[in-house]
Amino acid sequence: MIDLDNDTIYRNIMEQMCDIILVVDTNGNILITNTAAVHAYGYSRDELCGMQIYELRSPETRAAVDAQLKIAQQAGILFRTVHMRRTGETFPVEVSSQRVRLLNKEAVISVVRDITATVTMETVIRQSEGNYRYLHEELTTAYEELAASEEELRQQLDELLAREQAIHRRNIVLASLHETALKLMQKTNLHDILRLIAASAAKLLGTTHSYINLVDEEKGIFCSEIGLGHYAQLVGRDIKLTEGISGQVYKTGEIVVLDDYSTWEHRLPDPLFDLVHSVAYVPMKAGDQVIGTFSVGFLNPEQSFSDEDIAFLGRFADLAAIAVQNSQLVSALKRSEQELREKNAELTAAHEELLASEAKYRAIFEAASDGIFIHDAETGEILDINEKACTMHGYTREDVLAGGFGIFDTGEPQFNGDDARRRMEHTVAGKSQLFAWKNKHKAGHPIWMEVNLQRAVIDQKERILAIVRDISERKAQEQVIQRLAYHDALTGLPNRAYLREFLNLEMEKAQQGETSGAVLFIDLDNLKTINDTFGHSYGDEVIIKTGSYICAAMQERAFVARIGGDEFIVVLPGEANPGKIRNIAASMVKLLERDYELGTSRAYMSASIGIACYPDDGDTTEDILKKADLALYAAKGNGKNTWHFYETDLQKTADEDMLIKQGLREAIKRNELYLHYQPLGNPHTLAVVGFEALLRWNSAELGPVSPGRFIPLAEENGTIQTIGEWVIGEACRFARRLADRGKSHLRVAVNVSPRQLVAENFVPLVREAIRTAGIKPGQLEIEITENALIVSMEDSIQKLKALRTLGIRLSLDDFGSGYCSLTYLKNLPVETLKIDKLFIDDIESDADQLRFVNSIVSMAQLQGLSVVAEGVETESQLNKVRQCQCNFIQGYIFCRPLPETDAMLFLNNTGAN
């Protein structure tokens, strides 16, 4: 234990530390602190030393932190919580506490670290993981459905891995295209842009060798503009338009791929190409005209180009072509600007001459390559216009002079007359203006222009010259780049980046109290079934149609985005009425519940919706999307094909689920899991015929946790495999102890989950557990549910038959709660049928229910099956079960689940067959 009183060096260290240091007495009073704490919380040192430690915690975490703090002090571990500044702002922290001696009394020293940046990064990482969660779940489920044979399993796994890699790679390509397009918008230097595109494409294909040739029509050559890796030596070389692979691409306009370049008869005789194994040349086009070639090469003979690689190169070649055209437009604009400046200088120099010669002035005015307007400096009225400006707008000079500037009005507020007059006022004040502007052509279509306003004196009067140039083509190219960066390639809808920008603006307004609204998180139910059954192209078709249905229903009142996979977001700005939001969600669920025509087949689909309202449920983009996702999870949990509003309890449940999942990973190591055993009895003699092993968990942090709560979560995070293996082993050891007491004829039943049953090593695992415990196979009974069979029916039946061959008993649990029918039972190698408690509950009061149970028993026994009635709790129910001729019973009327010691005692007192 540290003694702070006798070692003053600790105080110096505390003041130098960037982390917050708080020394607290046993009553929670802050005794000592450092400068970092003063800066972090916003209180003075004296104020802090007069406060209780809990006052620095966020109110909702105070109770939970006390329990965590005790554990941390004893175990010496870190934990996270939320602290609060003087302003009320909260921030996440990581806390480490240790007991110390202060003035011969016990105190606690806490090192508190602000982890805002860490939490932000973790959030980003989780969101990234969310982009691939669907892919991972698809891989896992597809893996579970693979065929039984080991060779077939390996082949299908390879196919699945290849599919995942292809999808993953496609996402990388889209992300790379997105990033490149964004950078393309920021860069104007053509060399930098092309180098970025060449490097991005080469990296994506797993090589460093790429180059770009640009066509020089006048010289009849290719100019090697960019060369990376092995092709760096090509930069500066000129190649004739008729030579090499580039020449072939230029001639045909088609992609050329050579898997073995050394065998190509037209290859150029240059030692540089001797090391190249395979190459791909893609044309860069402006319309139908080839303006360059984009090439990537592999030196490694083991590398080759797939069709997908070529498609990716085509996308990058398109970007490169856009970059070249945009650069050419920019270069042309710069040349024109220079020409314009020179012409302006000429006009200024010739001003005095023009005063003396109107004819000469008119000739220069009309010969200008740019459009020119002359405005009155005071009123802004158009006094004159040259022929180029008339041609650009489709009007005659008389039309323009008669109609004034209003005939060019597009009707868009940002291009109104007031703004034009304001710019002219700045020009009159001596501030030249250069800006982009949109006018309307006489034919009705818009014209983007670059406008240069200059003050001039004409005929000894002050005028404004408006020199205009048509930049519509450049604007169109910018729009193409913008669409690549902010729209989903499959549906054309706004993508995640566009959604975030939109929501960020909405949240800013919501934080200022200027707006409110709702976010609907839509997820298609079971799209994976479509992908697995019909193929991903049909799955994409469903996604496209879903997007169109949503847009058609929402029209202009909502922002609709696809954020990945089968997930859509609908934002309803300004909609705060819960009733209207509820009606919209209900209508959307009904709209998306339909049959989709997929080729010659039809497939039923539905959707689930999670709803969060801002700013009530969250006033940041991350928070509102998280709350909508939690609500979606709740809708899925309610059976899908429905909607659910976010509730505070959802967050609490999600937090509890996370704690349970974390605890499950350590439960076996900490010996927190144990089994209870519920006897099965003869309904007539009430003698024990066997036991069912039931899993229990008493968590050190959470206390006793219900199996109905933690077992589904163990299924979700995969810990059910490890836990299930432990349960089978423990049940076999219990059977061994029964045998040691002369009760080897009693069977011990164990429930197995769907994940356990589909595992490749399930049968060997059970065989090894029996061998290790030293029991006969017939002492163990494996119970499966109907849902376990649905996951992978054929594979499951083969494994059950293997267990039956070993001599292990098999039973079908909870019969009637799932999808199995009695006629289907003949295909299953089970010996026992357990009727679900649901059918026993009303057997004493419902004659129809009694007849139904009697029919199940009769039909099962006709197939040679024994029948167990589960959940028998009353004497009346027991009599009805006897009347139905059930072979065995299980329930509280006979015995509750018991710890092993009590189960042995019950067996001794009751007896056994």
CB 750 within 8 A of CB 693: yes
User: Is the Cα torsion angle 525, 527, 533, 538 positive or negative in sign?
Assistant: positive
Angle of helix 116-144 relative to helix 527-534, nearest 10 degrees, comes to 40
Q: What's residue 71's pLDDT?
A: 65
Q: What's residue 109's pLDDT?
A: 86
Q: What's residue 147's pLDDT?
A: 44
Which contiguous run of DSSP H or E holds residue 735?
A: helix 720-740
pLDDT below 50 — which residues of the chain? Answer: 1-2, 4-6, 146-147, 354, 819, 912-913
Q: What's residue 358's pLDDT?
A: 60
CB 573 within 8 A of CB 506: yes
User: How far, CA to CA in Å, does 283 sit from each of 290, 315, 909?
Assistant: 6, 11, 88
Say which DSSP state 492 is in: -
Name the 3-class secondary structure at 98. Answer: strand
Which contiguous run of DSSP H or E holds residue 227?
A: strand 221-228
Give the Cα separation of 828 and 826 in Å (integer).
6
pLDDT in tens, 205-233: 788 888 888 888 888 888 877 888 888 88
Ramachandran class of 609: left when φ > 0, alpha when ψ lies in -120 to 50, beta otherwise: beta
Give the Cα separation of 187 and 724 in Å (integer).
58
Name the 3-class secondary structure at 384. Answer: strand
Q: What's residue 463's pLDDT?
A: 87
Angle of helix 720-740 relative to helix 762-773, nearest 10 degrees, comes to 30
pLDDT in tens, 772-828: 999 999 999 999 887 666 556 777 888 999 999 999 999 998 776 554 555 567 778
Q: Which distant-in-sequence residues (6+ apart) come within 8 Å of 8 by Cβ?
A: none
List the one residue out of 388, 383, 386, 366 whose CA is nearest residue 470: 388
Give CA angle at 349 (345, 352), nearest 5°.
Answer: 145
Give the Cα separation of 743 and 594 in Å (integer).
57
Name the 3-class secondary structure at 146. Answer: coil
Give the Cα separation of 502 and 509 in Å (integer).
11
Ramachandran class of 539: left when φ > 0, alpha when ψ lies in -120 to 50, beta otherwise: alpha
pLDDT in tens, 824-872: 677 788 999 998 888 898 888 888 888 989 988 998 888 889 999 999 9
pTM of the complete model: 0.43
Structure tokens that stand for 116 in this block: 């805002």
DSSP string, 541-595: HHHHHHHHHHHHHHGGGSEEEEEETTEEEEEEET---HHHHHHHHHHHHHHH-EE
Q: What's residue 128's pLDDT?
A: 67
Type of residue at 59: P
Q: What's residue 313's pLDDT?
A: 81
Say which DSSP state 2 is in: E
Give the Cα separation of 626 and 503 in Å (integer).
13
